[in-house]
Chains A and B, each alone.
Chain A
């Protein structure tokens, strides 16, 4: 059984189901309760769960991130919403130094079951401070899991798994796909394990890795490439850390070509990691040097034409695939 849901609704349903299931789960963040979330992701939750479990915070990211981590230390399971992940930079010390490292520094005593979630990456014409992908930032850090779904079904299944996970999870959404609709299983125990990628389009000529909104770009590119006689395999990474190395390596060993796509900057990005991994694990299988598609190495500009130039696009992916296929 499935139903058609937007990503926004799927995320809301995931939280509602997990809050019904476990009274220690609560949601906090700016405008999550009475306003229903700046992007309406928490629609209806305050009405169902009340002030105690859906908590509007002041504008105080560093403070409420730390507060959430402290609450997790004493056994609660906070879902902390950042209105956008850009604002998580105010809180990154608590996320990394407190949430990610304390289990290790305590010799395993201090688990921190917390989810930090919210929209990540570029939105539309909001300028450099509000348009940044944090996938590689957080994926750099041991002690965190980093998830970034594309479809509504994945958004729901992964968020439910993230809430049930005993570790701190960074859950990167994307504002521009909140309104896209997908078929979503209705089963309340529909869980997708963290750390597993998904081959969303099988193919034999080239492997394209992508996550979040860029999965849509990659799928469009693959459709157009098929007209050129190139059969692209598209892998939705879904989880950035731990990365599903096995799925990527197996794919590249069969296609012999790799294009990685992400919305973050290229330097030390997710694509850099994937390309390194392939060089280490599947070098002899490569028929062409891998190519990374990332945001251009600039703060994101406001002007419509420049913004478009700065971000990954279907066209850039097609050109990269042509390059690695020598076409």
Chain B
């Protein structure tokens, strides 16, 4: 099954030979920060799932569990002026951009203290302060928007790059290729990242894409692409570092195909009958991005088991606090119904 193979470490990745976890030059503090962020996303999403089950979160809620290394790896490569935009599976991106877990969780519960005052919800959150531009619910629309943000970086000559995320479903939208064409034509500073978790809702890549080699989708426009194993933080970092360097030098866009996996359904209402429990379990057992990274930290003696447990405890407290805040924060005032329509 192609779908099952996708979860296996990306053997065709050009990075398999170049990258091993031990070769990364990062400080202990940087590595532990990555660990903390990945665990934060995992625990946050698990808690969001629980709150959804309790009826405290409504509507659509798409969890990022399994994909944590992708956004954490890429955020490790950015500069302060860079911007980020993604689709609807956005909680992980927000946390990795430094947004406050309390504000994100309170938005999920539809409260006044949420990032959008409770008026956006899971798929529509933003933070100008953290250069996070959403959170967009229409699949593929963020690709044109991100291309425009890159146009803005170039116009303002601020040396910024826009990281534009999409999924293995979104990459098939027509406007993605309209955007590729313009970005390449005008050499816009944008990194396109395909987070390929194997399934566009319930449709596997094999059933929805004539070719699953997404890193080649920019080739007709002269956009170079690379593949990386999205369950391996260092592989993501390596790919991200290459892409951002290439783009920041003024060469125009680059495309990353990051192979990852989501453990949960497409959304909270998805029983995931399109794949076997064994498939999911195998990835969890053999390729879990957090567990792989944890083993690296311990085996390379970056930190002790106790140190990691301390981080895990801190994260647990942060998430507990966020969940409590999200339940105690009041709903938006009725007067908010008619605010923020026009400036």
A and B: interacting chains: yes
Total inter-chain residue pairs, C-beta < 8 Å: 143
Return the chain B residue nearest A110 by Cβ. Answer: B126
B residues 44-70 with Cβ under 8 Å of A?
none
Is A68's CB within 8 Å of the partner chain B? Answer: yes
Tell me whether B151 and A103 are in contact (CB under 8 A): no
Is A248's CB within 8 Å of the partner chain B? Answer: no
Tell me whether B153 and A67 are in contact (CB under 8 A): no
Q: A66-B147, A103-B341, A103-B342 are in contact. Are A60 and B134 (CB under 8 A)?
A: no
Q: How far is the CA of A110 from the CA of B120 in the complex (A)?
A: 12
Tell me whether A66 and B141 are in contact (CB under 8 A): yes
Is B119's CB within 8 Å of the partner chain A? Answer: yes
Residue total for B at the interface (Cβ-Cβ under 8 A): 47
Measuring CB to CB, which residues of chain B are less than 8 angstroms from any residue of chain A? 83, 85, 114-121, 124-128, 133-134, 136-138, 141, 143-153, 155-156, 162, 174-175, 178-179, 181-182, 185, 339-343
Q: How far is the CA of A73 from the CA of B152 in the complex (A)?
A: 9
Tell me whether B151 and A70 are in contact (CB under 8 A): yes
Q: How far is the CA of A262 from the CA of B156 in the complex (A)?
A: 42
Chain B contacts for A73, CB-based, 8 A? 133, 145, 148-149, 152
Chain B contacts for A109, CB-based, 8 A? 116, 126-128
The 8 Å CB contact of B341, one of A26, A63, A71, A142, is A142
Q: A57-B182, A103-B340 are in contact. Are A69 and B116 (CB under 8 A)?
A: no
Q: How far is the CA of A52 from the CA of B188 in the complex (A)?
A: 12
Tell me whether B138 and A70 are in contact (CB under 8 A): no
Tell me whether B144 and A66 are in contact (CB under 8 A): yes
How far apart are B170's CB and chain A's nearest CB, in angstroms? Answer: 13
How far apart are B106's CB and chain A's nearest CB, in angstroms? Answer: 11
Tell me whether B174 and A62 are in contact (CB under 8 A): yes
Tell me whether A58 and B152 are in contact (CB under 8 A): no
Q: A57-B182, A62-B175, A65-B144 are in contact. Are A106 and B152 (CB under 8 A)?
A: no
18 A–B contacts from the bound complex (CB under 8 Å):
A57-B182, A58-B178, A58-B185, A64-B144, A66-B143, A66-B144, A70-B162, A71-B151, A73-B145, A74-B149, A74-B156, A76-B152, A76-B155, A97-B141, A105-B126, A106-B124, A109-B127, A110-B133
Return the chain A residue nearest B153 by Cβ. Answer: A74
